[in-house]
Chain A
Amino acid sequence: MEKNYQYIGQSIQRHDGVDKVTGTAAYVGDLKMNGLLQARVKTSPYAHANIISIDTGKAEALPGVRAVITGRQGAAKLGIYMVDRSIIATDKVRHYGEVVAAVAAVDAETAQKAVDLIEVEYEPLPAVLDVKEAIKPESPLVHEKLGEYAHVKGVFFPIPGTNVASNIKIRKGNTEEAFKKADLIIENTYEQPQVFHIPLETHGTIVQWSPGDKIKIYSSSQSPFSIRDLFSVAFNLPKTNIEVNVSYVGGGFGGKSGIHMEPLVGLLSRAAGGQPVKLIPQREEECATLPCRQGLVARIKTGVTKEGRIIAEEAEYLWDAGAYADYGVNIGRAGAVTGCGPYDIENVKVDSKTVYTNHVFGTAYRGFGHPEVFFGIERQRDLIAKALNMDPTEFRLKNLLMPGSKTITGELITENTGRVDLCLKQVAEAIGLNTPYTEEEKAQWAKQGKYRAKAAAVLQKSPAMPTWSASSALLQMNEDGTMRLSVGGVDYGQGTYTVMKQIVAERLDFPIEKVSISPTINTNLSPYDWQTVASRMTVLCGVAVCEACDDLKEQILELGSIILRAAKHEVALKDEYVYVKQNPHQRVHLCNMAMGYTFENGNAIGGPLIGRGKSIAQGLTNLDAETGQGKTALDWTYGAHAVEIEVDKKTGDIDILHMVSSLDIGQVMNAALLRGQVVGGALQGIGTTFYEAVHYDEQGRLLTRNFTDYKIPTFRDVPKKVEVLNVETPQLDGPYGARGCGEHPLISVTSVIANALANATGEEFLDLPLSADRVYLRLNEHKKG
């Protein structure tokens, strides 16, 4: 297909850059207003305990304190998919760090003093700290009343009387029969700890709950409209009473989707007579009180023929949801849908259980469900290939989804879906997967106590979202013929707004510097968007922006044809002019039409030009409760990574010498922004691989509460070389053929590195992280053995 784009694909500079490099970009913490109070929270030191009593008397008596609230005021339950989480703990606490009381005071120091004066008496309960124990019938229950919780019916399936918040089943073919025909059956269990998102900015929130139940919220969030929705449901208030503002957001990675501290801060404001209240969670609270990524225990059993065809696969996924499954049940569902990876397998059985424990609760985290299950899936593929004595790339290529294949939920893959096989071939070639090292090279490295190896792994993801997920856009003209675009999604750094501006400029053949987009979403002023999650913005918001452009263009041409006294089909739009195609000198500039056109005698026609656009996911279905069959994918973005690593025998350190990533994103919208997503996502995955892990003591008290105990990658941890490649199989219903790519770079990073580590050392790690100490110990054990 010949493409001749002016803006699409170009590395257009980001729209928010100047505000951010100058420090003028205002995040929630930077906002000031009259009468602003500061909030602090009192949190649980226990993982699981009954609350016997809370004495707030001394705190209330402290001068400067304006409001103290406990579970008595905050019993209403929250949850985007599973309504299981009280605003403040009521009868019992379910994780270390859970809020039991909160204070608003004239300044943060006073609020903290008041928090310290609150006395809470607990009765510790046995804590549930391991998903494998949690699913046993004799396990203590984290939620006794699971059966009573509201949840999205027909999509999530709680098992009352157990710790299973939802059980998603996928059934295709007959695995039992197929395993009988297999030449080789391999079964492994893969384990991953919980990890933190670590946005540099914590979940800052300001709420003013004025008398008359008028509520104004400022939040560091990915989800202004979801906050409005969930807030209105929790307090039974009409949406017209609630205004949510989201401006600059200091990182989200999924952790700022859904609803978080807004109801709590709202209650404080209401109790303080309607003064606005600000809560900036401390870093420790960001770790303990706000949610993390779920842990996963994955048991995968695969049956293959000696020719290398996968004929059956069974997977049991046990998700460590922690104390609440609010958002978490959808992670179990996403993990099920993707549960065998991008492979064509006739007989499949997946059980994906979201399991309550007394850990910090989990939520969406970049690619949720996928980075977790892909560790097991892509490790398993290499282990099978080794057992078959087959090249792992060749083994994958024999089994990958191709046009005509069906996914495990029965979705037909077409020639427009994307090509994971091409991504794999690209990275394999770029890294030189088939070029063996010479004996001299290996000897040279061995002398220095080092091993080198390469490996590859594939990935896939479709947006994990409701079937009705929608976006909208408004494109309005200014008096001078410039344009302002409004959307309802949030650009927290990924670059969505820049890409949306590129679409406007391309579609209307219009200078991009004359298109503005506000960095602030206001649910009273901005058009609706469900949430900024799931790598769905480029596609769904992009389609809405295309439609808004087309709508505006229609109006421009219609008005232009009247002004130019020509039929509509005789005029066209280019370089900010409507002109007569046959006689281009007959033309009118957009600035003379933007607010309407005025003839010489004063007569005016038209009126302010406003383009409207909308989009909603097409043709998605819920999954069958028993078989998991159905269509959940708006679009599948496929990809692959390959790495070359060097392992230091003496320290257990692993260096990434070269990393190659390829995604089939249909159409590159902005090459620089894409590279930013890939390199940033890959490094986040490298952190998960090497050292990121949430740790608790034996009583379930969180140990990793700061950047000393929980290390994230630094400048020193960047791979020596990163190549970003693409396949472009157009998505026919995506804007300019594009698919989403924000989450995908993080997926399969753990598996590709673990595969390379196995190739380098022979050590087959089935769990994470691959920290230097663990690698060192394993290499040494091996030596002794």
Chain B
Amino acid sequence: MKRNIHVTVNGVSYDVVCSENATLVSLLREELGLTGTKEGCGAGECGACTVIFNGEPVNSCMVMAMEAEGAEIYTIESEAKNGRLSDLQQSFLDHNALQCGFCTPGMIMSARALLNRNPHPSKEEILEAMEGNLCRCTGYETILAAVQAIAGE
């Protein structure tokens, strides 16, 4: 069964038709073409698909597209504005906080969700917010440093 849903993504409102059992990540990637959000496990275990859903970070593979009716969603594509990188993106570059890059959008969105509700998180608060985001390449230290630099702690 297909259904029509209305959703606001990165400030743009969309009316899209999607399958009733589609996930939010497939809505974003397949229907809206926002492929910056990655899917690493399909089971809510790796955090690669993290987006901000009504202010909260969620694993978009674990949210049904139908639940996004009326929701306000932010993805990695919302970070850079007018061709300029966001502070977090720049900080990830400056700290070499990425290698293969597949986890990077999810990392940045988890960090963004945290910074939105707490602009100056402690190291422990950063770890708590981001421990669900897996990275197999970097060993995490540069990612932590990149977020800490913006948190100003």
A30 touches B35 (CB 8 A): yes
- Given contacts A250-B102, A673-B96, A22 and B80 within 8 Å (CB-CB): yes
- Chain B contacts for A283, CB-based, 8 A: 40-43, 45
Stretch at the interface among B63-71, B113-121, B131-139: B131-139
In Å, the complex CA distance between A22 and B45 comes to 22
In Å, the complex CA distance between A253 and B137 comes to 9
Question: Which partner residue on chain A sits nearest B41 by CB separation?
Answer: A283
Q: Which of A18, A23, A493, A681 has the most CB of B within 10 A?
A: A23
Q: Which of A17, A197, A248, A492 has the most CB of B within 10 A?
A: A17
A11 touches B101 (CB 8 A): no
SS of B interface (majority): loop
Question: Which partner residue on chain A sits nearest B138 by CB separation?
Answer: A680
Distance in Å: Cβ of B118 to nearest Cβ of chain A: 17
- Chain B contacts for A722, CB-based, 8 A: 139, 141
- Chain B contacts for A18, CB-based, 8 A: 85, 93
Q: Mark A252-281, 1 if CB is under 8 A from B, else 0.
A: 110000000000000000000000000000
A294 contacts partner chain B, Cβ-Cβ < 8 Å: no
List residues of B (102-153) whose CB comes within 8 Å of A's CBs: 102-105, 108, 127, 130-144
The one of A200, A494, A683, A708 in contact with B48, judged by C-beta atoms closer than 8 angstroms, is A200
Stretch at the interface among A209-217, A479-487, A606-614, A713-721: A713-721
In Å, the complex CA distance between A48 and B24 comes to 38
Distance in Å: Cβ of A67 to nearest Cβ of chain B: 21
- Chain A contacts for B135, CB-based, 8 A: 200
- Chain A contacts for B41, CB-based, 8 A: 283, 706-707
- Chain A contacts for B37, CB-based, 8 A: 23
In Å, the complex CA distance between A17 and B133 comes to 19
A715 touches B144 (CB 8 A): yes
B43 touches A250 (CB 8 A): no
List residues of B (74-107) whose CB comes within 8 Å of A's CBs: 75-77, 79-80, 85, 89, 92-94, 96, 98-105
B85 touches A493 (CB 8 A): no
> Tally of A-B residue pairs with Cβ under 8 A?
162
A200 touches B138 (CB 8 A): no
Question: Which partner residue on chain A sits nearest B88 by CB separation?
Answer: A21
B131 touches A716 (CB 8 A): yes
A679 touches B139 (CB 8 A): yes
- Chain B contacts for A413, CB-based, 8 A: none
List residues of A (533-572) whose CB comes within 8 Å of B's CBs: none
- Given contacts A707-B41, A722-B141, A715 and B127 within 8 Å (CB-CB): yes
- Chain B contacts for A772, CB-based, 8 A: none
In Å, the complex CA distance between A50 and B65 comes to 42
In Å, the complex CA distance between A680 and B143 comes to 12
Question: Which partner residue on chain A sits nearest B83 by CB separation?
Answer: A22
Q: Which of A16, A109, A201, A492 has the most CB of B within 10 A?
A: A201
- 15 A-B residue pairs with CB within 8 Å: A17-B96, A21-B85, A21-B93, A22-B77, A23-B35, A23-B75, A200-B102, A200-B103, A200-B136, A201-B38, A253-B136, A492-B99, A680-B137, A683-B139, A706-B41
Q: Which residues of A contact B (CB under 8 A)?
A: 11, 13-14, 16-27, 29-30, 32, 109, 197-201, 248-253, 282-283, 492-495, 672-673, 675-676, 679-684, 706-708, 712-716, 718, 722
Which 9 pairs, one residue from A and one from B, show the smallest C-beta to C-beta distance? Answer: A23-B36, A20-B101, A250-B102, A493-B99, A493-B100, A679-B139, A707-B45, A23-B76, A30-B35
